[in-house]
Amino acid sequence: MELPYLSYARHLQNRYKARVYRIGVDGLFSCPNRQYDGKGGCAFCDGRGGSAVYHRIEEHASSRLGYAEQGQLFESEISGVSLDQRVALILSQIERGKAFVQHRYKAQQYSLYFQSYTNTYDSIENLKTLYDTALSTHPFVEFIVSTRPDCLSQPVIDLLASYTTKVEKVWVEIGLESANQQSLDVLGRNHDTDCYIRAVDSLHLRGIGVCTHVMLGLPNEGRADYLATARLVNRVHSDAVKIHNLHVCLGTRLDDWHRQGEVTTASLRRHVSDSIFFLRHLHSSIVIERMMCETPSHRRVSPRLFPDKHQFLAQVTDGMLSHGWVQGDLV
């Protein structure tokens, strides 16, 4: 069955004629939006960052790096970790990741994915050491770096562009979340949409692909806001998107607001409907890398009852096919 949207798996299959699997790593990067005691940051951030499933095997609920050590790791502690220690951690994660996807999927081709936190927030010298070392471990197909739009200086972009001759494709994942500036301010993002636009334009000029991260269900947002966000993503020609439903993580400002009754999260039915709406207003050439959050349940306050990814995607697909809708048919 052909999906009514351009899935990431289909994009990779079309381009490489094979399944390609991401190896996610945490390089112990920090974030310019957080304080040294671990406070501050975006309203939705629990101080853990994203992590691949094979790094969650021994994850402790209060530890960013539970698979490595227990106890919360704040930015002040991260700053005391040596570059050699970070390199060693990255190398061990790559080996763990490769072993996992080889065993589970019989994988042969891989992408290197710097996933957790702001992966360009460091000196150029440190970035080059970490990137070079990680890329030297395997002939990766793609190199993917997740970051903020305000952490893409020209020297950083120059460094990222230098890898376009060493892998098939370099990607940068940028957190936009919303085209609504009021929403960005409420979330405490501390950047504006113009910053995002400049970052995308600068990356595209150097042949670097862009994946834009957006959230549906933000406080006080509705269909008009989702339409504005889709139109902005279309206008800058983002190559891919990751769509997340708003979710509340334990210990965040969103958690406080949720407990006070000021924030609610979308039901499954509503997020399916909102996702379909967003997809129909998104250009058909944009790759859909994700459509829901997969934060572990012990870190997630709300929504508590949500199906797994495959059930959710099946409902989106069935909903679109039953009406004859496809990605981009309302652009």
Q: Looking up tokens 């997740």, which residue turns up?
A: 146
Decide if 144 contacts 112 (C-beta within 8 A).
yes
272-321 pLDDT tens trace = 999 999 999 999 999 999 999 888 878 888 887 777 889 999 999 999 99
Position 59 scores a pLDDT of 46
Lowest mean pLDDT among 78-87, 200-209, 259-268: 78-87
Question: How far apart (Å, rounded) are the C-alpha atoms in residues 212 and 315?
Answer: 23
Report strand pairing: 109-114 vs 142-147. Answer: parallel
- Give the model's pLDDT for residue 72: 42
In angstroms, the CA 280 to CA 132 distance is: 39
3-state secondary structure 267-284: CHHHHHHHHHHHHHCCCC
Report the C-alpha gap between 180 and 192 in whole angstroms. 9
At residue 108, the pLDDT reads 87
Q: What does the pLDDT read at residue 99?
A: 95
Return the pLDDT at 63.
45
Query: 9-18, 229-238, 306-315: which range is least confident on average?
Result: 306-315
Select 8-320's CATH number: 1.10.260.40, 3.90.105.20, 3.20.110.20, 3.20.20.70.
3.20.20.70
pLDDT in tens, 83-136: 999 999 999 999 999 999 999 998 989 999 999 889 999 999 999 999 999 999
- Using a pLDDT cut of 70, give the percent of the chain over it: 88
pLDDT given at position 305 = 74
The model's confidence at residue 239, banded by pLDDT at 50, 70 and 90, is very high
Q: What is the pLDDT of residue 3?
A: 98
pLDDT value of residue 71: 34
| 30-78 pLDDT, tens digit each | 888 875 544 567 878 776 655 565 554 444 433 444 433 333 444 444 5
Instruction: For the chain, give every domain's residue range.
Output: 8-320
